[in-house]
Amino acid sequence: LGVTVVDVAKAAGYSAMTVSRALNRPDSLPAATVAKVREAAAALGYVRNRTAASLRSSKSHLVAALTPTLTGRVFVDAIAALTQGLTDRGYHLILGQSGYEGTSGDELLEDIISRRPDGVVVVGTMQSPRGRQLLQASDIPTLEFWELTKNPIDMLIGFSHEAVGLKVADFLAARGRKHLAYLGADDRRSVVRFHAFRKRLKRLGLPEPRAEFVPAPATLGSGRRSLGRLLDAGVELDGVFCSSDTIAAGVFYEASSRRIKVPRDLAVMGFGDLSFAQDVDPPLTSVRVDGAGMGALAAETLVRKMLGEKVEKPVVDVGFEIVIRKSA
């Protein structure tokens, strides 16, 4: 592994430069030369050193992702697609978790920048002012991911959690539901959906919705218990909007154990359209978000920018879709 281009050059009877060229841009040399170099490289077990290459060319071919603790199926799909898209284009993804409070977000960011990534994906949005400044000063192409926000640093791919809340409120209201509740995790995006949900209901002249929040990540059990609490408190209810399909599944269980019929007595909406949504009883009406698609688009967009091409649409709202099944 201590083999360098110079060693390969000697073995092949060329100079280091020719080796470099043969390996990186084989088209610019006679096939014969390339062949000899490749042979020598293989014989010596040469593996190029991208650290050195990065230093010299100031291109790291590295993209850093800053994420809160990864959780949620759709989200994992998105990261997987992002990773794949980058890998396919010759980039590697390095992961930085901003979730835990061990390192402050800004420390993490500086840590990341010290690697001189060619691009950065910020999941959620960069809150800290110093962080934003650091990113802009470094003029590293930056893409915010997952949620639409008002002042993107540069590129942004996501969907509007507020729009979700509004649309679901309309949807349930249009179906004649009046006494609604929101059951969700307490992460920020879920809270945003709730506020929009409430706001729209108010505008529609419907009663203030009840809300039950539980610590993320929400589980089936917490959904079950959330509904239980509401019902035990005697709250009148004919529809619930859950912050995840998992919670909705819990609602199904609790409703069933109390002989409450879905959707007759209670309309249930989930979020995420997980794979099981179509297979539960009744099939779950949910909000679908294309995580994998977002990840792939993010990879493509970011790479384009990193290559210096112009990105025609730096901000993309990928939207969402209400998948209507039987539960609401």
Partner DNA sequence: TTGTACGCGTTATCAT
Partner DNA sequence: ATGATAACGCGTACAA
318-to-63, 72, 297, 305 alpha-carbon distances in Å: 22, 18, 10, 19
> Interface with DNA by CB under 7 A: which range of 20-28, 94-102, 135-143, 251-259?
20-28
- CB 91 → DNA: shortest distance, Å? 15
151-to-57, 118, 318 alpha-carbon distances in Å: 32, 22, 17
Inter-residue contact 155 to 303 (CB < 8 Å): no
Question: Whose Cβ is closer to a second copy: residue 20's or residue 103's?
Answer: 103
Question: Whose Cβ is closer to a second copy: residue 56's or residue 264's?
Answer: 56
DSSP structure class, residue 76: H
Using CB under 7 A as the binding rule, the residues of this chain from 30 to 69 that contact DNA are 30, 33, 48-49, 52-53, 55-58
Residue 115 binding result from DNA, a second copy, none, given CB thresholds of 5 to 8 Å by partner type: a second copy
Question: Whose Cβ is closer to DNA: residue 57's or residue 127's?
Answer: 57
- CB 277 → DNA: shortest distance, Å? 48
Kindly state whether residue 134 participates in binding DNA, applying the rule CB under 7 A.
no
Question: Whose Cβ is closer to a second copy: residue 200's or residue 224's?
Answer: 224
Kindly state whether residue 137 participates in binding DNA, applying the rule CB under 7 A.
no
Sheet holding 180-185, edge to edge: 210-214, 180-185, 239-242, 267-271, 285-288, 321-323
Cα 151 to its chain centre, rounded Å, is: 18
49-to-16, 189, 234 alpha-carbon distances in Å: 14, 42, 67
Q: Which residues of this protein are in contact with a second copy, per CB under 8 A?
A: 1, 45, 47-52, 54-55, 60, 62, 69-71, 76, 79-80, 83-84, 87-88, 92-97, 100, 102-103, 108, 110-116, 134, 137-139, 217, 219-221, 224, 246, 249-250, 253, 256-257, 275-276, 278-281
Question: Whose Cβ is closer to DNA: residue 139's or residue 312's?
Answer: 139
Kindly state whether residue 111 participates in binding DNA, applying the rule CB under 7 A.
no
> Interface with DNA by CB under 7 A: which range of 13-21, 98-106, 191-199, 258-266?
13-21
250-to-146, 183, 216, 227, 240 alpha-carbon distances in Å: 26, 10, 15, 8, 12
Asked if omega into 141 is within 30° of 0 (cis), the reply is: no
Question: Whose Cβ is closer to DNA: residue 41's or residue 211's?
Answer: 41
Residue 127 binding result from a second copy, DNA, none, given CB thresholds of 5 to 8 Å by partner type: none
Inter-residue contact 88 to 45 (CB < 8 Å): no
| Token pair belonging to 20 | 């470099």
Inter-residue contact 270 to 248 (CB < 8 Å): yes
| Token pair belonging to 39 | 């042979």
Per DSSP bridges, beta strands 92-97 and 210-214 are unpaired
| Token pair belonging to 91 | 């980039």
Residue 260 binding result from a second copy, DNA, none, given CB thresholds of 5 to 8 Å by partner type: none
Applying CB under 7 A, the residues found at the interface with DNA are 2, 4-6, 9, 13-18, 20-21, 23-24, 28-30, 33, 48-49, 52-53, 55-58
